[in-house]
Amino acid sequence: MNLIRGITAIIAIILATLLVYIPLTWWLLCLLWTRGSARRDLKRRMDQIIIWWTAMNRTTFTSLGLTEVTLQWHQLDEMSAQQWYLVVCNHQSWTDIVLLQSYLYGKIPPLKFFTKAQLIWIPLIGLAMKVLGFPYVQRVTKAQIRANPKLRHADRDNVQAACEGFGSHPTSILNFVEGTRLTSQKHARQDSEFKHLLRPKTGGLAYVLDEMGTQFHRLLDVTIIYPDGTPTFWDFLQGKCRHVHINVTPHAIPAEVLQAEESQRRVALGQWMKQLWLSKDQHIEQLLHGKH
């Protein structure tokens, strides 16, 4: 039964992708000869592709009964699809992205996030993400920087370019500030002071705030908890992830993070993220302890 459910879910996702490619292809052709304000309006309309794709996928997940999601969203009445949001979340599985897209959908603008450059080669989805404004980042090694010092600022340049597009119309920017998915090996290697999390890395977050800080209505701190263990994406599609808890807490971005000099601002951001992560860690511990 699980195998049939998983295959059905994959087929449904593929069909949803093919369906949204029809208007996406037409809008992409229009984009080639559109300039100025008309181009900005078209790119805003193209976000509808993300909304349609997400809505179809959520219908699939619900119809197949893949999981039971408990969503706790604080201050929901203050959310608006006409505002900009910076979203931070703990990261454990590719399933995180699907859940965030599906359950934040309709309450804030569609999520966009920085992703590895290699993902552009995923059939259909990679190109669609590129066209829809999901910025690709290339990890640069120290050896590459020594060979070409200009690469030292590659991440910052990518963020600046992406934020030019993000700033043109309401957008939700997702940042997994831990920088990688949590595993027991990574947690042990890092010797993290958090029981259920890796340490937050604020470099990319700082670049985004440098470019768009005052434009954000709120920072949304999202915590995803898998009480029965972290699933792979295939586990999720087969319905083996029976329960998920998602907690969304909005925060006003502190003035010292937005207004201080650069060095002080980064210190303030690091301290603020650490406090958010301490609260997140305690919340996860309390829920898991109550579960077991």
What percent of the chain clears pLDDT 70, i.e. is strictly above it? 96
Q: How many whole angstroms separate alpha carbon 253 and alpha carbon 86?
A: 10
Type of residue numbered 262: E
Domain boundaries, the chain: 67-291
Q: Rg of the chain over CA atoms, in angstroms?
A: 19
Q: How far apart are CA 47 and CA 243, in angstroms?
A: 30
Confidence of residue 292 (pLDDT cuts 50, 70, 90): very low
Model-level pTM greater than 0.85? yes
pLDDT digits (tens, 9 = 90+) for 249-273: 999 999 999 987 878 888 999 999 9
Among candidate residues 10, 13, 23, the one with its CA nearest the CA of residue 131: 23
| DSSP per-residue letters across 214-260 | GGEEEEEEEEEE-TT-PPPHHHHHTT---EEEEEEEEEPPPHHHHHS
Whether pLDDT at 113 is above 90: no
Confidence at residue 139, expressed as pLDDT on a 0 to 100 scale: 66
Alpha helix positions (H), the chain: 2-32, 36-63, 95-104, 125-131, 142-147, 154-166, 184-190, 203-212, 233-237, 255-259, 262-291
Residue 281 has pLDDT above 90, yes or no: yes
Residue 211 burial (CB < 10 Å; 0-12/13-18/19+)? middle
Q: Does domain 67-291 fall into CATH 3.40.1130?
A: yes
Give whole-number Cα distances, 219 to 23, 98, 168, 276, 292, in Å.
32, 20, 19, 11, 31
Average pLDDT of the segment spanning 22-29: 90
